[in-house]
Amino acid sequence: MPCLGRPCATAAPTLATSCAALPPEGALAPWGGPAALEPFLIIPMTSPSGAPHHIAIVMDGNGRWASKRFLPRIAGHKQGIDALRHCVRACANRGVVVLTVFAFSSENWNRPQEEVSGLMDLLIIALSREVPQLRSDGVRLHFVGDRAVLSERVRAGLAQAEAATADNTRLIFNVCFNYGGRWDIAQAAAKLAARGEAVTEAALGAAMALAHVPDPDLIIRTGGEQRLSNFLLWQAAYSELFFSDRLWPEFDEAALDQAIAAYSQRERRFGRTSAQIASPVGQKIA
């Protein structure tokens, strides 16, 4: 099993436990996930910088960033898009293979109507501005969430952005939009029920909206709050958590490196003991 650039003792179990659905023996993709998903990830999994394979981020603090400057909240979201652009590039440069961000939650519909429609407009504008660059930077966009209630205009924008970047393999960039962890678990369970399939961990994992990527290794939340807020509830089972006091628009490369450095100090045991992790036998995938 290849090493992620940090001690193999921690790397090997990461790969084993991050599989959404274990395929038949011998059918593992290089990153440890289902071979059927291999076309999504043809990049080598070793990151020379020791960066986590999959980083997920709750980008919190846009509103406070704006309020501190006596600006409307939407100005904070605009600034948040700038921070996101830099973050995507920084992750790609550090060898991160998957980046997943929480852009609009199932609960964000409860915000003032003006802010909700402002976020929808921003999304459309951001897509038209950013997709050409993402495309040439090798970034593949996926939107994750319930599209059924989104407007036709937004749905079309998401589909076009995904199609325009579908051949890219450098970084998989999942944007969770109208997403909630509970929604994801419920929709996965509904899929199994409709197919008359038994509910097992593997089957449920494979039916999740993020089944195309391994589980996040590191989840970062900015803005000083320390909770998941319905983000990746299923997939976060063994993720390392990092909370930053920085407001999202202020989360720069140095802050990202701080989170990665903290992650690299963690011992990921996945239910095993430290001694097992330290022994070469303990690293073997059962």
Helix extents (H) in 34-142: 62-68, 73-93, 113-136
Considering the complex, what minimum distance in angstroms separates the CB of residue 10 from ligand FPP? Answer: 30
Identity of the residue, 37 or 131, whose beta carbon is nearer to ligand FPP in the bound complex:
131
**How many whole angstroms separate alpha carbon 37 and alpha carbon 59?**
28
Considering the complex, what minimum distance in angstroms separates the CB of residue 176 from ligand FPP? Answer: 10
User: Is 60 an active-site residue?
Assistant: yes
Q: Using alpha carbons, list the distances in angstroms from residue 231 to 53, 132, 144, 219.
A: 18, 28, 11, 10
**How many whole angstroms separate alpha carbon 59 and alpha carbon 57?**
6
Are 57 and 239 a contacting pair, CB within 8 Å?
no
Identity of the residue, 64 or 266, whose beta carbon is nearer to ligand FPP in the bound complex:
64
Q: Would you give the DSSP letter of residue 210?
A: T
**How many whole angstroms separate alpha carbon 199 and alpha carbon 212?**
19
Helix extents (H) in 47-112: 62-68, 73-93
Identity of the residue, 45 or 255, whose beta carbon is nearer to ligand FPP in the bound complex:
255
Q: Using alpha carbons, list the distances in angstroms from residue 127 to 50, 176, 249.
A: 30, 14, 18
Identity of the residue, 27 or 159, whose beta carbon is nearer to ligand FPP in the bound complex:
159
Considering the complex, what minimum distance in angstroms separates the CB of residue 162 from ligand FPP? Answer: 14
- The binding site for ligand FPP (CB under 6 A) comprises 59-64, 77, 80-81, 84, 103-104, 108, 119, 122-123, 126, 223, 248
Considering the complex, what minimum distance in angstroms separates the CB of residue 71 from ligand FPP? Answer: 12
Considering the complex, what minimum distance in angstroms separates the CB of residue 33 from ligand FPP? Answer: 27
Considering the complex, what minimum distance in angstroms separates the CB of residue 249 from ligand FPP? Answer: 8
Identity of the residue, 122 or 189, whose beta carbon is nearer to ligand FPP in the bound complex:
122
Q: Tokens 């964000």 sit at which residue?
A: 108
**How many whole angstroms separate alpha carbon 8 and alpha carbon 278?**
9
The residue from 62, 93, 108, 217 that is catalytic is: 108
How many Cβ atoms from other residues are within 10 Å of residue 113's Cβ?
8
Pair of tokens at residue 184 = 């994801």
Q: What are the backbone dihedrals phi and psi of residue 144, each rounded to the nearest 5 degrees, phi first? A: -120, 120
Q: Which residue is nearest to ligand FPP (CB)?
A: 63
**How many whole angstroms separate alpha carbon 20 and alpha carbon 24?**
13
Identity of the residue, 205 or 223, whose beta carbon is nearer to ligand FPP in the bound complex:
223
User: Is 174 an active-site residue?
Assistant: no
The residue from 60, 184, 215, 217 that is catalytic is: 60
Known catalytic residues are 60, 108
